[in-house]
Structure 1
Amino acid sequence: MTHRTTNNIGPTSPIHLVWDWNGTMRDDLDDHVAALNATLPRIGGPRIDTATYRALHAVPIRGFYDALVGRTITDEEWSRSNAEFLDVLHRRPVRLRSGVRQLMLGLRAAGHRQSLLSLAPHERLLTEVATTGIGGLLERIDGRTGEPAHSKAPALAAHLAALGVEPGRALVIGDSLDDAVAAQEVGAVAVLHTGGLHSAERLAAAGTPLAGTLREAAERGIALLNTRQGTGR
């Protein structure tokens, strides 16, 4: 059975989209910079601008802090700074990227499945998503439940397994190099949005398809997966 549609998000067969949250669905780059500038100087770090954040942000986050401060921070400094950062970020209004809800509705109408995977704390993630009204369009929402991870790959593998989704029919839409690495490690396709937490120049180095909008990311990813299916890859 095929699904017909008048736009470019209808595939020959449905796929599963795994959305990232911060910097992707949630338009919060400025929020991240503000939260970091509210906490980093407390441990001797400098105030940074958006360009510096996008150029240096990396997982694990503790290593990102080390790089900005110029030394290895202590366990106590990390624990306090991370908690303060999250508190500041959590107090900022949640803003969805323009057109997200409409895009998700179109994807669902075309027969696609959708879920959300983030390395943000799970309970905070659920609260933030609930304020946007898009929770009903997502089959599963997973955030982290322990210490900040070194990679998103294990969480992505577990997320897809819990959903019963074959990685080869999964599209990861994110905004960071770690999204691309995680997708590659589990066998999924990734398309990266260039308006998020990592600069377009950094993302280009990953060799992963890039897109300036989330709609373009979905369209490119669907086309790639359909090509993969057609060639038997």
Structure 2
Amino acid sequence: MQDVLHNAIERPGEISHIVWDWNGTLLNDNHANLAAVNRVCAEFGRDPVDLEYWRAKFRRPLLACYEELLGRPFTEAEWERVNTAYDSHYLDLLPSCDLAEGVIDVLTSWPATGRTQSLLSMAGHDHLVPLIAERGLSDHFTRIDGRRRDTVHDSKAEHLVEHLRVQDIDPATVVLIGDIDDDGHAAVEAGTRAILVASGLMSRDRLEATGHPVVDSVTEAVALLRG
């Protein structure tokens, strides 16, 4: 098994920095995400969906994703309703979300080897930073960035480029570990590598279609890099 994992990413020994995703990767919040999505469905008169359906449909840009879900285009005011309904219900359930299995071990063991790690999430920056601090995780990361602005393509790509630039990190030494295909896209755009964890909001077959290595847990993701 270990040989298979090492063969899945080229030259793992060249990686000296991990950029971690948060939701669905380090944080096990699928149940909160699904409940919040179904609150949106109720708000707009749609039947609830199950997790398998949502993992097959979820994508960025979020606007197009939700327009498909609800079968209608949104005005600016309606899109604000979507975001308000989702955010309020998700935040109510956030205290019930635990870290994914193995997170503390990998966050502790990776820097113990002399390598570094940071956190980049598409969650709002002002929401993310205190949340990480409340969970006692801040000191594990060289930098923590949430979404500070909206972008045209609603992708992590531009944020990842900036996240590495301000830290003066060579993208060739970086792997982004995330849970959706946009994480893989962002890695390609930024010149890094990616490992995708099939524990979040996107099905394994969709992740495998990106061509990036796909694993079941953050522990397996870091095992790829033990070169």
TM surpasses 0.5: yes
2:166 aligned with 1:162:
yes
Alpha-carbon distance in structure 1 between the residues aligned to 2:198 and 2:145: 23
Alpha-carbon distance in structure 1 between the residues aligned to 2:58 and 2:127: 21
Contact 1:90–1:124 under 8 Å retained in 2: no
1:216 deviates by: 1.0
2:187 aligned with 1:183:
yes
Q: Which has the higher contact order (CA 8 A, sep 6+)?
A: 2
| Structure 1 partner of 2:91 | 90
Query: What is the count of residue pairs matched by the alignment?
Result: 214
| Structure 2 partner of 1:57 | 58
2:123 aligned with 1:120:
yes
Q: Please report the TM-score for the alignment, with normalisation by the length of structure 2.
A: 0.89
Alpha-carbon distance in structure 1 between the residues aligned to 2:88 and 2:144: 21
> In structure 2, do the counterparts of structure 1 residues 74 and 97 end up closer, same or farther at CA, with 3 Å as the change threshold?
same
Paired AA for residue 122 in structure 1: H
**C-alpha deviations, 1:155-192, integer Å up to 9, x for none?**
00000001111100001000000000100111101000
1:117 deviates by: 0.5
| Structure 1 partner of 2:216 | 212
Runs of 4+ in structure 1 over 4 Å off: 11-14
Alpha-carbon distance in structure 1 between the residues aligned to 2:75 and 2:46: 13
Alpha-carbon distance in structure 1 between the residues aligned to 2:170 and 2:131: 28
Contact 2:194–2:213 under 8 Å retained in 1: yes
Unaligned runs of at least 5 residues, structure 2: 1-5, 7-11
1:147 deviates by: 3.4
User: What SS does the aligned partner of 1:18 have?
Assistant: strand
User: What SS does the aligned partner of 1:178 have?
Assistant: helix
Alpha-carbon distance in structure 2 between the residues aligned to 1:79 and 1:147: 14
Alpha-carbon distance in structure 2 between the residues aligned to 1:31 and 1:133: 21
2:25 aligned with 1:21:
no
1:131 deviates by: 2.3
Alpha-carbon distance in structure 2 between the residues aligned to 1:73 and 1:45: 15
Alpha-carbon distance in structure 2 between the residues aligned to 1:187 and 1:70: 36
What aligned pairs does 1:63-142 form with structure 2 within 5 A after superposition?
A: 63-92=64-93, 93=95, 94-142=97-145
Percent identity reads 36
Calculate the aligned-residue CA RMSD, in Å: 1.7
Contact 1:17–1:113 under 8 Å retained in 2: yes
Paired AA for residue 117 in structure 1: L
1:30 deviates by: 1.0
Contact 1:23–1:175 under 8 Å retained in 2: yes
Alpha-carbon distance in structure 2 between the residues aligned to 1:215 and 1:105: 12
Alpha-carbon distance in structure 2 between the residues aligned to 1:83 and 1:135: 28
More deviation, 141-150/50-59: 141-150
1:14 deviates by: 6.1
Paired AA for residue 75 in structure 2: T
User: What SS does the aligned partner of 2:130 have?
Assistant: helix
User: What SS does the aligned partner of 1:114 have?
Assistant: strand
1:112 deviates by: 1.4
**C-alpha deviations, 1:16-50, integer Å up to 9, x for none?**
10000110001001110001111222123331100
